[in-house]
Structure 1
Amino acid sequence: MLSDAQIQQFIDDGFVRLDEAFPRQLADEARAILWRDTGCNPDDPSTWTRPVIRLNQYGQAPFVKAANTPVLHQAFDQLVGPGRWAPCGMLGTFPIRFPSSEDPGDAGWHIDVSFGTENPDFMSWRSNVTSKGRALLMLFLFSDVGEKDAPTRIRVGSHLEIARRLAPAGEAGLTLRELAANGFAETADSPEALAMGDAGTVYLCHPFLVHSAQPHHGTRPRFLAQPPLLPTQPLLLDRLDGSYSPVELAIRKALRTIQDFRGSL
């Protein structure tokens, strides 16, 4: 179970790290499948010709088991609320990063927007203050990730600034293009953390957390999945029974009071 301190860290910083969230054996089995689909030879770096290869939607047994351990389910209950999230049937995009001096071209700061995805222009995808369509952003480490292995960069506490940015836009929210128009300048002074750890580590992140890829300066490719945790019911910022989840509490903290939230609409 997450401790009270870890839950408070999630509310304040926007993420919590779970070591050994799934077994290394599952990471090894999943990585073997991913290596095959890259078309690269794990023992021949001369075949690693691109800085990043993106693979999508894996639902084989090692992936599903990795995403549905008792440790993770307990954490989902604690952060999102029992009955408010759907088990992961598959893991989403795998941006597999290879050692390279070439610019990967995708290392900009962003949040993972969560609705309007039927639009072919991904910059038109949207997010709103109640995080429609996403309960958590998750980073699953399927390989050991050190400081030089292209760990995801995280702006600590940036989720609070994004909640304040989204609030005036109401239910419609903002597009990624609108959110990124100022380069996420409101979060530029946030401290930075790196999503490092052994294979089997998972970072559970607030949906509004600002993060970024970076080039790989290590020696072994980095395997990471970044699936959403999908909600089964909308987030609420005004609950009559006061049973707010930490995801909701973080947004309420950003907006100070529910009256401020209502007044911003």
Structure 2
Amino acid sequence: MPGTLPALSAAQIDAFITDGFVRIDNAFPQELADQGRAILWAATGCNPDDPSTWTQPVVRLGNFTQPPFRDAANTPVLHAAYDQLVGEGHWLPQGGLGTFPVRFPSSADAGDTGWHVDASFGFDAPDFLDWRANVSSRGRALLMLFLFSDVGEDDAPTRIRVGSHLEVARYLAPAGDAGHSLRDMIADRPDWFDTGREALATGRAGTVYLCHPFLVHAAQLHRGTRVKFMAQPPLLPKVPLQIDRADGNYSPVELAIRVALDQG
């Protein structure tokens, strides 16, 4: 965007292409995180000062579009980063931050800690295992992780399989536009694209991880003491991603897919 300083360095963009994600500290102000948490605490029905009310390992909250969430998703630094990774004019502004899986300290398994890729289309299918992804990432430009609380290693940080987006791209490519369902991926790749490298999405409230839409990730049990508040919305494309452009002007999201197919 003319007149706007880039949010990401060339090294960060290179890391996004090879590793599948980039971390942006102070992507939105702590004040917005505080305001958002107050809204979320009220929605949980739990008392932030009384752990005896924290009876479930996870409370899933519905769509949140109040000003703190809209503002957090649309800061100048994030808009600049969206432009750099997806392409200027190629993405839609965030109307909010969608749903929040609020994770409480607990030894109980919520049954949602498996490795997976987020589907991006086919949501009309009643069974979520029939939701789909394809090699051009129809319907999703980025996977994003917005931390609304401080998240340390014991606070159920999202687990990330570094570089897994490249393997997923190679897996999806032969299926063309139809892509594969989540059911297919479970049957075909029981190892869930294990790269042997894992990262944890830790950081202070206000940290945002911008991830390739094919990045394999997973939740985990909360072994800490403070409740984790995180949103995981998609960045929606305004125009479809393309992995075969006549002008060769590929965004880093598209270029990562091309790198994967060239390596394959």
TM-score (norm 1): 0.95
> Is the Cα contact below 8 Å between 1:161 and 1:186 reproduced in 2?
no
Please give the per-residue CA displacement for 1:57-103, whole angstroms capped at 9, x wherever unaligned.
Answer: 10000000000000000000000000100000011221110000111
- Structure 2 gaps, min length 5: 1-6
1:93 corresponding residue in structure 2? 99
Q: CA deviation at 1:184?
A: 4.6
Secondary structure of the equivalent of 2:60? strand
Correspondent of 2:177 among 151, 171, 178: 171
TM-score (norm 2): 0.96
2:215 corresponding residue in structure 1? 209
Q: CA deviation at 1:190?
A: 2.9
Q: Does 1:53 align with 2:73?
A: no
Amino acid in the other structure paired with 1:62: P
Please give the per-residue CA displacement for 1:167-212, whole angstroms capped at 9, x wherever unaligned.
Answer: 0110000001111224552622330000000000000000000000
Please give the per-residue CA displacement for 1:154-173, whole angstroms capped at 9, x wherever unaligned.
Answer: 00000000000000110000
2:142 corresponding residue in structure 1? 136
2:49 corresponding residue in structure 1? 43
Correspondent of 1:149 among 150, 155, 172: 155
1:226 corresponding residue in structure 2? 232
Amino acid in the other structure paired with 1:225: A
Kindly report the root-mean-square deviation, in angstroms, between the aligned alpha carbons of the 2 structures.
1.1
% same residue: 69
2:256 corresponding residue in structure 1? 250
Quick one: distance in 2 between partners of 1:184 and 1:157?
17
Amino acid in the other structure paired with 1:109: W
Correspondent of 2:82 among 52, 57, 76: 76
> Is the Cα contact below 8 Å between 2:133 and 2:181 reproduced in 1?
yes
Quick one: distance in 1 between partners of 2:40 and 2:221?
20
The alignment covers a number of residue pairs equal to 258
> Is the Cα contact below 8 Å between 2:167 and 2:193 reproduced in 1?
yes
Quick one: distance in 2 between partners of 1:24 and 1:220?
17
Secondary structure of the equivalent of 1:66? helix
Quick one: distance in 2 between partners of 1:158 and 1:91?
25
Amino acid in the other structure paired with 2:85: L
> Is the Cα contact below 8 Å between 1:134 and 1:231 reproduced in 2?
yes
> Is the Cα contact below 8 Å between 1:107 and 1:212 reproduced in 2?
yes
Secondary structure of the equivalent of 1:6? helix
Amino acid in the other structure paired with 2:224: G
> Is the Cα contact below 8 Å between 2:162 and 2:195 reproduced in 1?
no
Secondary structure of the equivalent of 1:177? helix
Quick one: distance in 1 between partners of 2:62 and 2:209?
19
> Is the Cα contact below 8 Å between 2:15 and 2:22 reproduced in 1?
yes
Secondary structure of the equivalent of 2:69? helix
1:263 corresponding residue in structure 2? none
Poorly superposed stretches of 4+, deviation over 6 Å: none
